[in-house]
Amino acid sequence: MADQSKPEKSSPTHLHRALGTFGAAAFVVSSMVGTGIFTVPAFVRTATGNGIASLGVWLVGAFLALCGAFCYAELATRMPKAGGEYQYLTNVYGRMWGFVSGWISFFAGFAAPTAASALGAIAYAATLFPGWDPNTPVLAGLDITQGAAIAAVVTLAMAVVHSLGVRHSGGLQTILAATAISSIVLFVLIGFATGRGNWSGVTQTSEASGKWWLALIQVSFAYTGWNAAAYLAGEVKEPRKILPRALIGGTLVVVILYLALNLLFFYALPIEAWKSEIAVGQIAAQHLFGENGAKIVSLIITITILGSISAWTASGPRVYFAMACDGVAPAFFRRLGKHGAPLVGTILQSVAAAIMALSGAFGQLLTYVGSGLLLFSGFTVAAVYWARRKNIAYSSDYFRVPGYPLTPLIFIAMVTVSWIQSFREQPLPTSAALLTIIAGIVIYYAARTFGFLTKQPIPQTSEGNL
Distance CA 414, CA 378 (A): 9
Distance CA 362, CA 113 (A): 8
Query: Is the pLDDT at 400 greater than 70, yes or no?
Result: yes
Does residue 453 form part of some domain?
Answer: yes
Q: What is the mean pLDDT of residues 313-342?
A: 85
Q: Whole domain around residue 128: which residue ranges?
A: 19-458
Torsion, Cα 291 293 295 296, to 10 degrees, reads 160
Q: How many domains does the chain have?
A: 1
| Residue 205 bridge partners (DSSP) | 50
Identify which of 123, 113, 109, 261 has the alpha carbon closest to the alpha carbon of residue 185: 261
Query: Is the pLDDT at 92 greater than 90, yes or no?
Result: yes
CA distances from 158 to 307, 346, 353, 355 (A): 10, 9, 11, 15
Q: ∠ CA 368-121-129 to the nearest 5 degrees?
A: 150
Query: Is the pLDDT at 440 greater than 60, yes or no?
Result: yes
pTM, two decimal places? 0.80
Query: Is the pLDDT at 365 greater than 60, yes or no?
Result: no
Does residue 386 form part of some domain?
Answer: yes
Confidence of residue 49 (pLDDT cuts 50, 70, 90): confident
Instruction: Report the pLDDT value the prediction gives residue 5, as an integer from 0 to 100.
Output: 40
Q: What is the mean pLDDT of residues 281-294?
A: 85
The model's pLDDT over 175-210, given as tens digits with 9 standing for 90+, comes to 888 888 898 999 999 999 999 988 888 888 877 766
Does residue 13 form part of some domain?
Answer: no
Does residue 362 form part of some domain?
Answer: yes
Query: Considering the chain, what percentage of its residues have pLDDT values greater than 70?
Result: 91
Distance CA 2, CA 166 (A): 14
Instruction: Report the pLDDT value the prediction gives residue 23, as an integer from 0 to 100.
Output: 83
Query: Is the pLDDT at 463 greater than 80, yes or no?
Result: no
Distance CA 191, CA 195 (A): 8
Instruction: Report the pLDDT value the prediction gives residue 370, as an integer from 0 to 100.
Output: 67
Report whether 41 contacts 54 (CB < 8 A): yes
Report whether 358 contacts 148 (CB < 8 A): yes
Distance CA 307, CA 31 (A): 7
Instruction: Report the pLDDT value the prediction gives residue 375, as an integer from 0 to 100.
Output: 82
Distance CA 453, CA 380 (A): 23
Q: What value does the mean pLDDT of the chain take?
A: 83
Does residue 103 form part of some domain?
Answer: yes
The model's pLDDT over 421-433, given as tens digits with 9 standing for 90+, comes to 778 877 887 788 8
Query: Is the pLDDT at 262 greater than 80, yes or no?
Result: yes
Instruction: Report the pLDDT value the prediction gives residue 6, as an integer from 0 to 100.
Output: 42
Instruction: Report the pLDDT value the prediction gives residue 432, as an integer from 0 to 100.
Output: 81
**Higher-pLDDT residue of 360, 433:** 433
Q: Which of 13-22, 90-99, 310-319 has the lowest mean pLDDT?
A: 13-22
Distance CA 408, CA 290 (A): 46
Identify which of 417, 447, 422 has the alpha carbon closest to the alpha carbon of residue 433: 422
The CATH number given to whatever domain includes residue 144 is 1.20.1740.10
Distance CA 183, CA 129 (A): 20
Confidence of residue 363 (pLDDT cuts 50, 70, 90): low
Does residue 7 form part of some domain?
Answer: no
Instruction: Report the pLDDT value the prediction gives residue 8, as an integer from 0 to 100.
Output: 40
Does residue 211 form part of some domain?
Answer: yes
Query: Considering the chain, what percentage of its residues have pLDDT values greater than 90?
Result: 27
The model's pLDDT over 105-120, given as tens digits with 9 standing for 90+, comes to 888 778 888 888 888 8
Instruction: Report the pLDDT value the prediction gives residue 457, as an integer from 0 to 100.
Output: 55
3-state helix/strand/coil string of the chain: CCCCCCCCCCCCCEECCCECHHHHHHHHHHHHCCHHHHCHHHHHHHHHCEHHHHHHHHHHHHHHHHHHHHHHHHHHHHCCCCCCHHHHHHHHHCHHHHHHHHHHHHHHHHHHHHHHHHHHHHHHHHCCCCCCCCCCECCCCCCCEHHHHHHHHHHHHHHHHHCCCHHHHHHHHHHHHHHHHHHHHHHHHHHHHCCCCCCHHHHCECCCCCCHHHHHHHHHHHCCCCCHHHHHHHHECCHHHHHHHHHHHHHHHHHHHHHHHHHHHHHHCCHHHCCCCCCHHHHHHHHHHCCHHHHHHHHHHHHHHHHHHHHHHHHHHHHHHHHHHCCCCCHHHHCECCCCCEHHHHHHHHHHHHHHHHHCCCHHHHHHHHHHHHHHHHHHHHHHHHHHHHCCCCCCCCCCCCCCCHHHHHHHHHHHHHHHHHHHHCHHHHHHHHHHHHHHHHHHHHHHHCCCCCCCCCCCEECCCC
The model's pLDDT over 141-156, given as tens digits with 9 standing for 90+, comes to 778 889 989 999 999 9
Q: What are phi and psi of 359, to 5 degrees?
A: -80, -25
Does residue 87 form part of some domain?
Answer: yes
Sign for the CA dihedral angle at 269, 272, 275, 279 comes to: negative
Q: Which range is most confident: 1-10, 17-26, 65-74, 431-440?
A: 65-74
